[in-house]
């Protein structure tokens, strides 16, 4: 009795495996259509490299940018602006936006925020 039951379960398992295996063979994978760009569509190009201002340009522009910030001092070295002094928290963002527009390589902020 136990052998008959075991044999029936084994045969059922083999049949189930065979059905699942053969049922998946004939199906092809769905292929997504390839979209070709039109001939007159402009191709995307790589973005232009970021231009970094020279030290002389930065020094000249810093004079104008810092005139509204009397407690802030700045030094330019190798394209980097180094800030020292004090500033109010509300004015810091305005200063940083003005300095970023000058296109330095880096801004080192050593300011004391009031």
Is the residue at 36 inside a domain? no
Is the residue at 43 inside a domain? no
Residue 107 structural domain: 55-113
CB neighbour list of residue 55: distance below 8 Å, 6 or more residues apart: 76, 77, 78, 79
CA distance 62 to 77: 13
Structure confidence at residue 4 (pLDDT) = 80
Is the residue at 69 inside a domain? yes
CA distance 8 to 2: 10
The candidate with the shortest Cα–Cα distance to 78, out of 47, 107, 101, 35, is 107
Question: What's the pTM value of the predicted model, to 2 decimals?
Answer: 0.57
Q: Look at the chain and report how many structural domains it folds into.
A: 1
Q: Is the pLDDT of residue 13 over 80?
A: no
Is the residue at 20 inside a domain? no
* Mean pLDDT across 93-111: 94
The candidate with the shortest Cα–Cα distance to 96, out of 60, 77, 70, 72, is 72
Q: Is the pLDDT of residue 29 over 70?
A: no
Q: How many C-beta atoms lie closer than 10 Å to residue 30's C-beta?
A: 5
Structure confidence at residue 21 (pLDDT) = 65
Is the residue at 64 inside a domain? yes
Task: Output the domain CATH number for residue 81.
Answer: 3.30.1340.30
Is the residue at 45 inside a domain? no
């Amino acid at each position: 009795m136990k052998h008959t039951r075991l044999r029936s379960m084994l045969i059922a398992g083999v049949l189930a495996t065979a059905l699942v295996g053969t049922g998946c063979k004939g199906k092809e994978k769905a292929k997504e259509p390839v979209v070709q760009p039109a001939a007159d569509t402009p191709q995307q190009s790589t973005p232009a490299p970021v231009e970094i201002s020279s030290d002389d340009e930065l020094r000249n522009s810093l004079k104008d940018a810092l005139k509204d910030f009397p407690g802030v001092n700045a030094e330019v070295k190798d394209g980097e602006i180094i800030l020292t002094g004090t500033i109010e928290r509300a004015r810091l963002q305005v200063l940083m936006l003005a300095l970023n527009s000058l296109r330095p390589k880096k801004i080192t902020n050593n300011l004391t925020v009031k």
